[in-house]
């Protein structure tokens, strides 16, 4: 397919969902969120395909080996997402630093925001905000550009601060809420659990199955998973096909 051409779209009776983690700033927890969501989808017994676009730090494929690499440095490669949705109605695409505009440009260049109706395709854009102006500004840019044409999920990541006052009082939040955005919170994980998961390249699920955790550490992970999964349950309407 040539750059700039729209993907071939056919009428579909199968509902589909595409989830894009669309944030520019690196190190805000994009892959961490995607890994957690992948675990929740597995717990829901949902078939899905996950793409990892980070060619420098392939965190998602390290923790979720069944995910596939997608080189989005060439925007036409994003068309593969639509191609695979005939067999995988639920597709999750991790984010990568400085690539938010590639996702948004692709949505507009392919006219997918209009064509999705014929495809029975729902779109969810995930924005991860921290207690800093950069992530809030990027969230505002995204919603100003796309508006209410998609479902929005805002993730407050509390890994550095237990608050999100900059986002809470921002114009970006007002605009997102007016577009029906849903909000969830990722609480800070205990540093020892973070170290263990990173050292072993384990998801929470595999760590709990490994029998390598002390009882208290195991309970902390169980509680963390429960807190996150309950929020995914509450926002499942925009996370499932």
Instruction: Report strand pairing: 16-21 vs 182-186.
Output: unpaired
Number of folded domains in the chain? 2
Sheet holding 68-69, edge to edge: 68-69, 49-52, 90-93, 16-21, 121-129, 151-157, 182-186
Domain carrying residue 85: 16-188
Encoding tokens for residue 203? 């998801």
Give the model's pLDDT for residue 98.
67
Write the burial class of residue 234 (CB in 10 Å: 0-12 exposed, 13-18 middle, 19+ buried): exposed
Give the model's pLDDT for residue 43.
94
10 within domain boundaries: no
CB 121 within 8 A of CB 18: yes
In order of 35, 56, 69, the CA distances from 66 in angstroms are: 12, 18, 10
Cα(113)–Cα(18) distance, integer angstroms: 12
Q: Over the stretch 19-67, which tens digit does the pLDDT of each residue have?
A: 999 887 888 889 999 999 999 999 999 999 999 988 777 889 999 999 9
Q: Over the stretch 160-216, which tens digit does the pLDDT of each residue have?
A: 888 899 999 999 999 999 999 999 999 999 999 999 999 999 999 999 998 888 899
Pair 77, 176 in one domain: yes
Instruction: Please calculate the CA angle 10-5-126 and round it to the nearest 5 degrees.
Output: 75
Encoding tokens for residue 210? 């490994």
Pair 87, 203 in one domain: no
Pair 31, 108 in one domain: yes
Give the model's pLDDT for residue 10.
52
Question: Which of 21, 10, 5, 176 lies closest to 91 in space, CA to CA?
Answer: 21
Pair 79, 180 in one domain: yes
143 within domain boundaries: yes
Q: Report which secondary-structure segment, H or E, holds 18.
A: strand 16-21
Give the model's pLDDT for residue 3.
46
Residue indicated by tokens 């929740």: 40
214 within domain boundaries: yes
Pair 200, 94 in one domain: no
């Amino acid at each position: 397919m040539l750059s700039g051409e729209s993907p071939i779209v056919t009428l579909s009776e199968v509902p589909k969902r595409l989830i894009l983690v669309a944030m520019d700033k690196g190190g805000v927890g994009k892959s961490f969120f995607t890994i957690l969501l992948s675990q929740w989808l597995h717990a829901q017994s949902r078939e899905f395909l996950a793409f990892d676009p980070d060619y420098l730090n392939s965190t998602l494929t390290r923790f979720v080996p069944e995910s596939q690499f997608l080189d989005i440095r060439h925007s036409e490669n994003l068309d593969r997402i639509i191609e695979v949705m005939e067999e995988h109605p639920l597709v999750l695409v991790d984010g990568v630093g400085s690539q938010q505009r590639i996702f948004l440009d692709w949505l507009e260049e392919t006219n997918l925001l209009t064509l999705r109706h014929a495809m029975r395709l729902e779109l969810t854009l995930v924005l991860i905000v921290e207690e800093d102006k950069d992530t809030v500004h990027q969230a505002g840019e995204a919603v100003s550009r796309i508006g209410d044409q998609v479902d929005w999920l805002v993730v407050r990541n509390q890994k550095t601060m237990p608050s999100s006052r900059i986002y809470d009082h921002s114009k970006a939040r007002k605009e997102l809420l007016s577009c029906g955005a849903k909000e969830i919170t990722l609480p800070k994980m205990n540093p020892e659990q973070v170290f263990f998961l990173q050292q072993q390249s384990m998801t929470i699920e595999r760590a709990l199955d490994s029998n390598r955790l002390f009882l208290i550490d195991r309970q902390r992970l169980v509680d963390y998973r429960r807190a996150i999964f309950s929020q995914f349950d509450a926002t499942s309407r925009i996370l499932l096909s």
